[in-house]
Amino acid sequence: MGRGMDITALVLSLLFIIPPLPFIGLILGIISVVKSSKKKKSPSNIAIAAIVLGIITSILSILALISILWSFIQPV
């Protein structure tokens, strides 16, 4: 029980093609870790991986979005 949020966070963190999804995965991973700490349990490895991947893919999606916008701004 409780693995559903962990797995959802991990999957959303991996979908960096759609920019808001890694942020949502990151938030769900953090919520999952906070909930497990309130229950005095150790956080799931899946939730921790979702947080790490959420941070990395969020940065990558921001950089990709900036480079796409930059290519439209630059004159040919």
Mind listing the pLDDT tens digit for each residue in 60-70? 888 988 999 99
Quote the pTM value.
0.83
- Tell me how crowded residue 21 is: count the other CB atoms within 10 A of its CB: 19
Largest CA distance in the chain: 58
Q: What rounded mean pLDDT belongs to the chain?
A: 88
Range of the domain at 19: 3-73
How many distinct structural domains can be found in the chain?
Answer: 1
Q: How confident is the model at residue 76 (pLDDT cuts 50, 70, 90)?
A: low
Tell me how far the alpha carbon of residue 24 is from its chain's centroid: 6
